Amino acid sequence: MAYQKSLIALADPTRRLVFEAVAHAPSAVGQLAEALPVSRPAVSQHLKVLSDAGLIQAEAQGTRRIYSLRAAGLADLRAYLDQFWDQALQNYSDEVDRIVGEQNDRLDP
């Protein structure tokens, strides 16, 4: 799923750096490699993962590809967190039921 991919893509600190640079200003691979302590091939690889995760998008300008933030990808991330809390709290509520059930079993043998 897109949001899971986003989280995994952003869990790598170097990739996060690349992502933040793109979020700061739309950039070409060469510009990113100059601005960051990352080699050009590594930047390309990170851009690919970020693109696959839907977090950034590329647009051809002449012979260059300019990478920029993809708003919908970030909305996915927020939506993921929203759903995550729903799931976590449902699990939590189930755990309470389990414990209360055990206590009742003990009281009513």
Partner 1 sequence: MTDSILKTVDVNCAPDLAFEVFVNRVARWWPLDGHAVSAASGKAALAVTIEPHVGGAVYETMYNGERSDWGTVLEFVPGEKLAMTWHPGNNADNPTRVDVEFAATDDGKTRVTLTHSGWEVWGTDATDRRTSYDGGWDHVLGTCFVQGCMQDA
62/86 with CB nearer partner 1: 86
Note the residues at the interface with partner 1 (CB under 8 A).
4, 7-8, 10-13, 16-17, 19-21, 23-24, 36, 69-75, 77-78, 81-82, 84-97, 99-100
Whole-number minimum distance, CB 93 to partner 1, in Å?
Answer: 5
CB 75: neighbour CB atoms within 10 A? Answer: 13
Whole-number minimum distance, CB 19 to partner 1, in Å?
Answer: 7
52/97 with CB nearer partner 1: 97
DSSP 109: -
10 within 8 A of 55, measured Cβ to Cβ: yes
2 within 8 A of 53, measured Cβ to Cβ: yes
- Give the H or E element holding residue 56: strand 56-61
CB 31: neighbour CB atoms within 10 A? Answer: 17
Whole-number minimum distance, CB 61 to partner 1, in Å?
Answer: 19
34/97 with CB nearer partner 1: 97
4/61 with CB nearer partner 1: 4
